[in-house]
Amino acid sequence: MNVIVVLSDSLRVDHVGAYGEGKARTPNLDRFARESALFTRCYIASYPTVPNRADIWLGRYTFPYRGWQPLEPEDVILPEILGEHGVTTQLIFDTPPLLYGGFYRGFSGWWYIRGQHADPYITDPTIPTPLPAAPHKLKNIKRTRQYLRNRYDWRFEKDYIAPRTFTKAIEWLERNHTLDKFLLFVDTWDPHEPFDPPTHYLKLYDDPYREVDSIIYPRYGHWEYMSSSELRRVRALYAGEVTMVDTWFGYLLETVERLGLKENTMIIFTSDHGHLFGEHGLEGKPGGMLGRLYETTTRIPLIIWHPEGYGAGEKFDLITQPPDLLPTILDFMEIPIPKTVNGRSLIPAMKGEEEQIREFAVSARFPGRSTEAAVFDGWAGSSRAVAPITITSKEWTLICYPDPERSELYRIDEDPEQENNLIEEEPKIANELRRALIDLLAELGTKSEWIEPFRLEMRGLKEFLDLETKLYAIRDYEDRVFAFPKRGEAEECLSPEIKSKKVQEVRFGDLLEEKPKAFIHIEDQYYWAEELKPV
């Protein structure tokens, strides 16, 4: 008995046709879903990339006691459990933080595909790296240039990272399909930024020759530093990446069928979180006070093929989360589930034996910047405030701040876009969900310093700048102001798209009075000035 897991980073559920909206073309995933169990209410737990992988590797919620960090030596993890029971395990990945975090540990073999994101791979200083967009629109100029250097000699679709990753997985299957039992885990960074699909995929969603900045790595925070035309291009680039991943997932499925593996192999397809493209006025994976985890971010695809046909062609609306994958895999392989696991196997539900896995889903990240988190870009947001936590039941979603007045409540079964905040109309429901969240955090062993702000219902907790703080500002031709804490950050954004020819030193209080919606770039994302005024 074998298991294949494919994890596609940052894949929004509304871009998979099988989930109903189909904002991207995904014919292979849709076909796969028609033959498999489709879980419609799978929500992230620990967020984002590295914490999510920790949840999967350990089969438990890790946000209560760790953030963005490598695996710990004492962790009881999936590949080691399987290895102890004679299962050959292979990890094939291009997701850079997994390499740094040691997530290849315990696998019988692993293969890392180089060149994705800001991987320090190609160093040739003669390679030209003209930016595809104005510097103040790109999340990290240095990392963007590194990526452009990495991809300089790509000529064909097969040269792109996701195709190379799936190709290596196909080759591995061709060499190893006769093993008695194996786990193949394929982890691809796409469609995560940089949003840079081959032109023929972009053509499906936009005119690639339309004259507009291609913001392949948008800055996080409020999205209005882009024009609506630029935002449309960003969405098209992302959708193109989704379709590219779908194409190569299809090639993997063809290989599984050709090798006769479907009759004894469970196949799992999922993601780790979504990505905001203007929804709720936000772009990317913002953090701090902007780090509200809406459905666009928290709800992810989960599709499982079982060789005995359990759940085939059915939709399951029970609430599931990433910690459930480890016990599901062990259950399928008839391996005992360790007591350290607090996820639940989904196979009984697929057999029709269970109607509920859990009452609530909790999606969270806790603050705190570390050396590990800064290596790549997985950490996003403020180290100054407790991040809001999202708790989701079958009917309701509470985006819970320590300050109840800033929390948001949505009737999710009637308002899936989360447009109507009912926090004032339904205080009883909000308080019940808050109490349930606190109880669950305590049950999961959450650090007391992370749980107390929610228990104490603190008022006015937010990031802020002193009115006398010096900032360094530039203006564009739309008279939008972009201000930075360091002069160098502002200077590297001077470009033909910027009206300012030099950087202006400003006092925050003066800027706040003149331009309440000036874009202030702190903690690696854009805030409005009015959001940062002192309490």
475 contacts: CB under 8 Å, gap ≥ 6: 481, 482, 498, 499, 500
Q: Indicate if the pLDDT at residue 376 is higher than 80.
A: no
Span 196-255, pLDDT tens digits: 999 999 999 999 999 999 999 999 999 999 999 999 999 999 999 999 999 999 999 999
Phi, psi of 336 (to 5 degrees): -60, 140
Instruction: Check whether 91 has a pLDDT greater than 70.
Output: yes
pTM > 0.85 = yes
Domain 2-350 has CATH 3.40.720.10: yes
Single-letter amino acid code for the residue at 413: D
Domain boundaries, the chain: 2-350, 388-456, 470-532
Return the pLDDT at 458.
Answer: 42
SS (H, E, C) 315-347: EEEEEECHHHHHHHHHHHCCCCCCCCCCCCCCH
pLDDT for the residue 346 = 98
pLDDT tens-digit profile of 309-337?
999 999 999 999 999 999 999 999 999 99
CA–CA distance, 399 with 405 (Å, rounded to integer): 11
Distance CA 344, CA 355 (A): 13
C-alpha neighbours within 13 Å on the C-beta side of residue 209: 0
Q: Which fold has domain 388-456?
A: Arylsulfatase, C-terminal domain (3.30.1120)
How much is the pLDDT for 377?
47
65-77 pLDDT, tens digit per residue, is 888 889 999 999 9
Task: Check: CB of residue 58 under 8 Å from CB of residue 101.
Answer: no
- Quick one: which of 368, 363, 289 has its CA closest to 68? 368
Q: Is pLDDT at 154 greater than 90 in this prediction?
A: yes
pLDDT the model gives residue 459: 40
Residue 350: pLDDT above 80?
Answer: yes
Q: What is residue 123's DSSP assignment?
A: -
Peptide bond into 191 cis (omega under 30): yes
Strands (DSSP E) found in 189-264: 220-222
**Using only C-alpha atoms, what is the Rg of the chain?**
23
Res. 386 pLDDT band, cuts 50 70 90: low
3-state secondary structure of 458: coil
Asked if the model's pLDDT at residue 379 lies above 50, the reply is: no
The single residue listed with the structure tokens 């050396």 is 371
Render pLDDT for 425-442 as a digit per residue (tens, 0 to 9): 999 999 999 999 999 999
Cα separation, 529 vs 535, in Å, equals 13
pLDDT band at 381 (very low <50, low <70, confident <90, very high): very low
Q: Name 31's Cβ contacts closer than 8 Å, sequence gap at least 6.
A: 250
Geometric angle at alpha carbon 158, from 275 and 186, rounded to 5°: 55
Structural contact between residues 57 and 71, judged by C-beta atoms closer than 8 angstroms: yes
User: Is residue 269's pLDDT more than 70?
Assistant: yes
Average pLDDT for residues 43-67, to the nearest whole number? 95
Please report, as a single letter, which amino acid is at residue 394: K
Residue whose C-alpha is closest to residue 300's, from 274, 280, 339, 323: 274
446 pLDDT tier (thresholds 50, 70, 90): confident
